[in-house]
Amino acid sequence: MKAPIFGTKLTVGLIEVKLKERRASAGAKLNVVAFGEKVNLGNFRVEFFPVCHSIPDAAGLIIRRR
């Protein structure tokens, strides 16, 4: 699937390892985002915020129509 992947530094690192293990990393567009960052995707604006979770560096998403 040719879609950009957004995540925190840790999340993107984990995804990168899994893609390489499956020889699927060619063409993967991985984007590291910081908490508070806003990303425009088509008609949507996505904001990343930290959440308390057993998984380190977890993020919640606020998705708004532009």
Spans of all domains in the chain? 5-65
Q: How many CB atoms neighbour CB 1 within 10 A? A: 5
Q: Is the pTM higher than 0.85?
A: no
9-20 confidence digits (pLDDT tens)? 999 999 999 999
C-alpha distances (whole Å) from 64 to each of 7, 26, 46, 47, 48 are: 18, 31, 6, 9, 12
46, 38 in Cβ contact below 8 A? yes
What confidence tens digit (pLDDT) does each residue in 28-66 have? Answer: 899 999 999 999 999 999 999 999 999 888 999 999 999
Could you give the CA distance from residue 16 to residue 14 in angstroms, rounded to a whole number? 5
Instruction: Give the count of beta carbons closer than 10 Å to the beta carbon of residue 45.
Output: 14
